[in-house]
Chains A and B, each alone.
Chain A
């Protein structure tokens, strides 16, 4: 593996290897001294053309826990905000001599295009509406830790599936490892032809909740109201929001995931976020472990 661009292109074996490795990284995170010398002397550039707090922080901590050095190219006064193009950035990174690049961009395909230009590994930290592969990895790890397996589970992805790179990466990952995936949301955000069997599309939240072992609740962007995808946030909550009452209709062991940050009181209620079925904080912890696994996977082997 030379780059980490999307879940769709990974084999089942690679996915399993990454999850196993992430599991051992999670063990390192339980130690008092959360640092191993593995990538000492290597450097990682975080290049975020689109703002992000938790993903960038998780990548930064992951690199530091592996003893790599980190440099951040982020909004807020950096050259990225002053209009530096992707291609100028690529040339800058080459000149700086970093060993890997983590990139987020609002346009699908930018990480892949950068990977073609750069000899060093490129890691996709979310591109447009395409993929957010490390998010899928942390969702897979969280589910595997809870249930001990992924095959045979039913995973409902609820909300704005149409625009969600998280939904796409999750769909590929859970399907590859043998789970059944149900996409649920209003017809404007989950069109009927969004996926092909065996993935199921439903416009009934009740139906999805009744069958799900895992419920991934997607964030609803406020812009969707102006764009006409949803009538209003209030109406979205009334019809699609995960409330305690709705969760009571799901299986008692059903696990709640959310890629964050949550709009409490819109797509998910506070008492569900903080409730006993929520694995949301575990997802955040696992976010560091899976990114350590990806960095180790890309930088820990001899160049192919």
Chain B
């Protein structure tokens, strides 16, 4: 049997993304020179929502791009083949502050690939990272600048982020396989 525990509902996601938008404005003193880049797939709608929040707060909406990291993974040839999608960044990232957006930060390997991918588009002044969920278990020295919610997890658990643009509803659930109640170190 599989247990699911709700971690965030629609309102919690909305509030977290609004808080992240405020933190982005505070840290960057506005939205000038900012480009939001969502990591496909669910990072893209999250980046759009943060951009809309920034427009509400500051009156200007920063450009939003999408990034597919399939060609930059460090495990190409070691896992089943997956199709890649075209990346699209509407403006030059040269000299800009790029805020990478993803749904879940876990091992950090996706973000590492995204860092490689983004630098092919130019040399940003800085790259920051925003994630809806940080579930721990990093395998690389990577941390997020903005976090919606920290969720301690076991490796065998799965964090499922669902967004209305992709999945038809907004929620985050923790999926625990059977027998995962037994003691396992949570990070």
Contacts of B77 in A (CB 8 A): 39, 42, 299-302
Contacts of A21 in B (CB 8 A): 83-84
B71 and A27 form a contact (CB under 8 A): no
B86 and A38 form a contact (CB under 8 A): no
Cα A17 to Cα B82 with chains together (Å): 9
- A228 CB within 8 Å of chain B: no
Q: What DSSP secondary structure best describes chain B's contact surface?
A: loop
Q: B68 CB to closest chain A CB, in angstroms?
A: 6
Q: A137 CB to closest chain B CB, in angstroms?
A: 14
Cα A25 to Cα B68 with chains together (Å): 11
Contacts of A282 in B (CB 8 A): none
- A199 CB within 8 Å of chain B: no
- B85 CB within 8 Å of chain A: yes
A17, A24, A26 pick with most chain B CB within 10 angstroms: A24
B contact residues, range: 20 to 34
Cα A260 to Cα B149 with chains together (Å): 57
One of A28-36, A160-168, A251-259 contacting the partner = A28-36
In-complex Cβ contact of B81 among A27, A28, A297 (8 A): A297
Cα A25 to Cα B121 with chains together (Å): 15
Among residues of B, the one whose C-beta sits closest to the C-beta of A31 is B120
Contacts of A131 in B (CB 8 A): none
Among residues of A, the one whose C-beta sits closest to the C-beta of B87 is A27
Cα A284 to Cα B154 with chains together (Å): 50
- A296 CB within 8 Å of chain B: yes
- B29 CB within 8 Å of chain A: no
- A23 CB within 8 Å of chain B: yes
Cα A94 to Cα B78 with chains together (Å): 21
A24 and B72 form a contact (CB under 8 A): no
Contacts of A17 in B (CB 8 A): 83
Contacts of B116 in A (CB 8 A): 37
A21, A26, A66, A299 pick with most chain B CB within 10 angstroms: A21
A24-B86, A27-B86 are contacts. A37–B81 as well, Cβ < 8 Å?
no
Contact with B along A284-304 (1 / 0, CB 8 A): 000000000000110111100
In-complex Cβ contact of B80 among A20, A66, A302 (8 A): A302
B70, B76, B78, B82 pick with most chain A CB within 10 angstroms: B76
Contacts of B86 in A (CB 8 A): 23-24, 26-27
Among residues of B, the one whose C-beta sits closest to the C-beta of A42 is B77
- B79 CB within 8 Å of chain A: yes
Chain A to chain B contacts (Cβ below 8 Å), 28 pairs: A21-B83, A21-B84, A23-B85, A24-B68, A24-B84, A26-B86, A27-B86, A27-B87, A28-B71, A31-B120, A31-B121, A36-B72, A37-B71, A37-B72, A37-B116, A38-B71, A38-B72, A39-B76, A66-B71, A296-B71, A296-B81, A296-B84, A297-B81, A301-B79, A301-B80, A301-B82, A302-B79, A302-B81
- Interface, chain B (partner A; CB < 8 A): 68, 70-72, 76-88, 116, 120-121
